[in-house]
Structure 1
Amino acid sequence: MQLFLMRHGEASYLAHSDRERVLTETGRYHTSLMSNWLARTVVEFDLVLVSPYLRAQQSWQEVSKHFPEPRKWLVLDELVPSGDPSTAADLTLAYAEQYKADKVLVIAHMPLLGYMVSELVAGTEPPLFATSGITLIDKHAEQASLVWQHNPHTVS
């Protein structure tokens, strides 16, 4: 299975709450740039899991313009910035198994994503994710490896 972990795009701080922060124009542009770049490698996603926060939902809207509709997509309350990484990783794998998904996209936040990488890939320090950044984890049975990590400044 290939797990694509993506941080939402850059968001404005002008909001009533953290949940309500919206993407900036730069955030939309960088998310679109990363989606276009990713579409050269990935034809489609079987499963998409998205944070309930507005900026993550808007990031998914941008990403979805570049891919066919996934077999299943869900909003998970556990994919919030302060979410438990072990629970988030376990749920991601459980849903992937339930829906027999080979290509899974998770759109969430820091610091959760960094800690999820550590949960999924033994012995890996939590990496930082730039906004709109994506990390690929290749997981087969109990073996998982971090394949690559890119952000809008490392792709062309």
Structure 2
Amino acid sequence: MSVAEPRRIVLFRHAKADWPQVADHERPLAERGRKDAAVAGRKLADTGISFDLALCSTAIRTRETWKLAVHELPHRPKTVYEERIYEASPGELITVLNETPDDVQNVVLIGHNPGVQGLAEVLSGAAEGDARERMSRRGFPAAAFAVVSFDGSWKSLEPSVGTLLDYWAPSE
């Protein structure tokens, strides 16, 4: 893999969570979340991106979202459950992504707001079509994802180096 080839990051917010009397980290998906996670997985498959790596928060709702979404993909990437993604700021998420080996081209990061939305905004110095306008209008609801492309090594990932290629969110 050449660092000259564009890399893609899909920033995927967990699906709708339930609110039982448990610690935030232990919250499971709601019924709607389970449905939306599978639909999001089909939409991820429709992007045509072959993921080399999935970086997933250790929270129950992100793990459940990924488990349901990945079944819709034609290729199951290596998955790493990363504690630092839970409650991470955009800067902390960039630090996690900077550690990605350069033989990895495409990554899906399954995390939480406001960090995931913030990272999509921070990385996207440019945007294709109406992707930025759609993301600004819809916000980043549960099960939404943004596709960002950038050139260079993972260590060079920093604010404004990317292009927002696409944005998808489930229907309300």
Common fold by TM > 0.5: yes
**2:21 alignment partner in structure 1:** 15
Find the residue that maps to 2:84 and give its secondary structure. Answer: coil
Question: C-alpha offsets along residues 71-114 of structure 1, whole Å, 9 cap, x if unaligned?
Answer: x2211111113x2321211211321xx15221110000001112
Aligned counterparts of 1:114 and 1:43: Cα–Cα separation in 2? 20
How far did residue 123 of structure 1 move?
8.2
Find the residue that maps to 1:152 and give its secondary structure. Answer: coil
Matching residue's letter, 1:69: R
Contact conserved, 1:86 with 1:119, CA < 8 A, in 2?
A: no
Question: Counterparts in 2 of 1:1-156, with a 5 A limit?
Answer: 1-42=7-48, 44-67=50-73, 68-70=75-77, 72-81=78-87, 83-95=88-100, 98=101, 100-122=103-125, 128-141=139-152, 143-153=161-171
Which blocks of at least 5 consecutive residues in structure 2 are unaligned?
A: 1-6
Aligned counterparts of 1:121 and 1:92: Cα–Cα separation in 2? 15
Provide closer, same or farther for how the CA distance between residues 32 and 19 of structure 1 changes in structure 2, counting only shifts above 3 A.
Answer: same
Contact conserved, 1:5 with 1:135, CA < 8 A, in 2?
A: yes
**2:3 alignment partner in structure 1:** none
- Structure showing greater radius of gyration is 2
Contact conserved, 1:89 with 1:120, CA < 8 A, in 2?
A: no
Aligned counterparts of 1:121 and 1:131: Cα–Cα separation in 2? 20
What's the TM-score, normalizing by structure 2?
0.78
Aligned residues: 150
- RMSD after superposition: 2.3
Which blocks of at least 5 consecutive residues in structure 1 are unaligned?
A: none
Identical pairs, percent? 21
